[in-house]
Chain A
C-alpha cells in the first residue's frame, strides 16, 4: 500500500523550459512534504519542503505547490538546466508524531541542452 505515489517514472525536458514533477499521497495525516534529488552513487539531498499550512513554497528556480484537497503536490523547476538531471523523490511525514519519512518511487528527470 503506497502512501506516496509518483506515477511518472521519467520526464524529459529541454534546457530552459519548465519541469513539472507530480506526487500524490493517500494519508491525510501527512503534514510536511519534501522533495529530494538524487544523483547516481550518492545519497538523496534535500531540495525543498512545504508545510501543510501553506500551498506554495519557492526557493530560487524551485517551487513546490500543495493541493491538500486533492492530496497532490508538484515541483516546478524553471528554467530547467542540464545539471538538474537526476532522480527526484517526493516524501511525506506526520511531523509532530516523529514518524519516519515515507518516499515515493521517484521520477527520473532528463534535461537536454
Chain B
C-alpha cells in the first residue's frame, strides 16, 4: 500500500497563470475526492469521482476549476487564471467506502 500520492508538494505561481495538480489514489480505490484547506479551516469538499465519473461538485468549484479522472485511475485538478484567494492546501483522498485516505497535499501560493 503506497498510499495516496500528490504532486507537486508545493507550487508558487503568479496571479493569472494556470496550474495543474496530480493525484494518484490507492490502486483499488474507486472513489477519489479533492478538498481544499485554508488556515484555521477544516478540509472543504471540492469534487468527487466514482471511477471516471465526476459525481458531485461543490459550489466552491468555480468555472476556473476543472478536474478529470481519465480511465478511473489518477486525477488532475486544474485552476485557470489563478487568483490570490486560490492560495491553499489542495488535498486528494481516495476510498472504497466511508473512510477517506488522504495524500499529503499540494500547497499552492499565488503571488
Q: Would you give 8 A-B contacts (Cβ < 8 Å), ordered by A?
A: A34-B98, A34-B99, A41-B104, A44-B43, A46-B100, A89-B42, A98-B31, A100-B45
Q: Are B44 and A103 in contact (CB under 8 A)?
A: yes
User: Known contacts being A49-B99, A93-B98, is A43 close to B42, with CB within 8 Å?
Assistant: no
Q: Which residues of A contact B55 (CB under 8 A)?
A: 98
Q: Are B56 and A105 in contact (CB under 8 A)?
A: no
Give the docked Cα–Cα distance between A45 and B105 (Å).
12
Interface hub of A93, A98, A104 (most chain B Cβ within 10 A) = A98
Give the docked Cα–Cα distance between A32 and B41 (Å).
21
Give the docked Cα–Cα distance between A104 and B44 (Å).
9
Among residues of A, the one whose C-beta sits closest to the C-beta of B31 is A98
Say whether A86 faces chain B, with CB atoms less than 8 Å apart: no
Say whether A18 faces chain B, with CB atoms less than 8 Å apart: no
